[in-house]
Structure 1
Amino acid sequence: MKNNPEWYYNEKPVGVDYLDPEIAREYNKEHQKFRNFEDETESIVQILGITLDDTVLDFGCGTGGIALNMAKYCKKVIGVDISREMLDILEEKAKKENVNNIETHCAGFLTYNHDRSAKVDKIVSMVALHHLPDFWKSVALLNMAKIIKKGGKLYLFDVVFTFNIQDHQKDIGQMINQMQNAAGDSMADELKVHIRDEFSTYDWIMEGLLEKAGFSIDSVEVKADNLRGYICSRL
């Protein structure tokens, strides 16, 4: 981990505490109620044009839902996550599945120290950047731009608000109800924590942050009203 100034944002857990071993162990089980990691990975591979020659960095890799599936499509996956507990689970799975091309780093968006002489081909970040306030999102995206090759691709997927502020109570209520119907009470409660304690932002802000950091937005995937996937190129 790199040494930042003392005034830098401390990437401590906000919202759901994924440093808690019990919560980390339940992550895949809970998220598989409404996600299919294999299908998500295959879609990302197609969208970004990932090849067996590529090095792919997965920021906020968690327990490896994407990273473990991605490993069969590329030369190497670099998995970065602030939770040592979640990385331990990833590493256990990789060993069990005989996956040998994943390298892990316990660090955050702001503290990961990449060898700048070995730039990566692609970066993926799934439902993780919302852990940072907007200013620090921009710093994180700038860090990504520095470690990806020119012309390299970024896939950023997250909860991104698209409603009018006047409608926020109605729209957030609908989001929570939809999650409850799809994945039950525990994930609905997790979404409430996300809304209250974490830092999802508006789509127009996210687009500006990406562009100011040195990315062009090639296209935007609309997964649901407040779920966006940004396919970007490094300028």
Structure 2
Amino acid sequence: MFGDNEKKLSKKKDFWIEFFAGRIDGGHRSSAEEFLSMEAEEKLFHLKGGKTLLDFGCGAGELLSYYAPEYEQLVGVDFSASMLDEASKRIREQKCGNISLIQADDKTVWDKLESSFDRITAAGVLQYLTLQEIDSFIFNALSHLNKGGKIVFFDILDPRLYPLWKIGLFSQDADILNILRKIGFEFKVMLSASLNNRPKDILGFAHSPNIIKKIANKYSFEITFVQSMYYEYKYHAIIY
């Protein structure tokens, strides 16, 4: 199930650490509070309840702080110290006393947790995990998920829609000539990448829903897929 390219990238342990070093934003389409509020509202709809929540890859805490009023206890996890510093500032400013933060990655987080959760979520994170790492994440999450709980992966890059977004199909000012020009440009980029053995412009992975479903079913989970409202080329996976 897991390809050679994933195995090669997973061996570059310092790649993502270097990429996120010094970052202080979560990479949302907009940092405006109005947008973050709408994005969080959509995600809370899919999380639907529970009293405790683990937000893995919480980044600067933009969504976590909006989740806070809906839960009794929340834990935000990220491996980036600079991100967690920003998250800590945001939590203090918004007086979110029910949030605690942990510095960890997908492998070390489980030993640092002191409780189980009704909801385990990760937004925009699966792009940076191989399928083997996603498999391990779901397996480990099993022992930290309360009965009736959910694992919800938000904003997974869709390999079917990402190329369409790249050529501008979803743009408000899209027209056929611009789309044809971009198709030609993207073809040149893909050809150059192939000839020079360089990676595509995407950072990380675009995972097919069918493969995510196979991993979830492997651990006797049911799964539902939902299109993202605010990122046209991404989808959500609700695992229960």
TM-score range (shorter-chain normalised) is 0.7 to 0.9
Distance in 2, Cα, partners of 1:205 & 1:158: 16
Shift of 1:65: 1.3
**Rg bigger for which structure?**
2
Structure 1 unaligned regions, length at least 5: 1-7, 182-192
Distance in 2, Cα, partners of 1:32 & 1:140: 28
In structure 2, the residue matched to 1:47 is 46
Shift of 1:99: 1.3
Q: Is the 8 A contact 1:16 1:194 kept in 2?
A: no
In the superposition, the TM-score normalised over structure 1's length comes to 0.73
In structure 2, the residue matched to 1:188 is none
Q: How does 1:207-218 map to 2 (within 5 A)?
A: 207-217=213-223
Given the alignment, which residue of 221, 226, 234 partners 1:221? 226
Q: Secondary structure at the match of 1:215?
A: coil
Higher relative contact order (Cα pairs below 8 Å, separated by 6+ residues): 1
**Equivalent residue letter for 1:232:** I
In structure 1, the residue matched to 2:166 is 173
Q: Is the 8 A contact 1:138 1:209 kept in 2?
A: yes
Indicate the RMSD between aligned Cα atoms, in angstroms: 3.4
Deviation track 1:141-197 (CA, whole Å, cap 9, x = no partner) reads: 211222111220122113332429xxx8x536326985999xxxxxxxxxxx98534
Distance in 2, Cα, partners of 1:175 & 1:77: 38
Distance in 1, Cα, partners of 2:153 & 2:70: 19
Shift of 1:87: 0.5
Q: Secondary structure at the match of 2:135?
A: helix
Structure 2 unaligned regions, length at least 5: 1-9, 175-198
In structure 2, the residue matched to 1:68 is 65
Distance in 2, Cα, partners of 1:104 & 1:68: 12
Distance in 1, Cα, partners of 2:37 & 2:103: 24
Q: Is the 8 A contact 2:127 2:203 kept in 1?
A: no
Distance 1:26 1:135, change over 3 A: closer
Distance 1:194 1:153, change over 3 A: farther
Distance in 1, Cα, partners of 2:91 & 2:217: 35
**Equivalent residue letter for 2:211:** I
Distance 1:26 1:81, change over 3 A: closer
Distance 1:97 1:206, change over 3 A: same
Distance 1:213 1:175, change over 3 A: farther
Distance 1:197 1:47, change over 3 A: closer
In structure 1, the residue matched to 2:160 is 163
> What is the identity percentage for the equivalent residue pairs of Structure 1 and Structure 2?
20
Distance in 2, Cα, partners of 1:146 & 1:85: 29
Distance 1:119 1:230, change over 3 A: same
Q: How does 1:46-125 map to 2 (within 5 A)?
A: 46-51=45-50, 54-114=51-111, 118-125=115-122
1:36 aligns with 2:42: no
Q: Is the 8 A contact 1:56 1:120 kept in 2?
A: yes
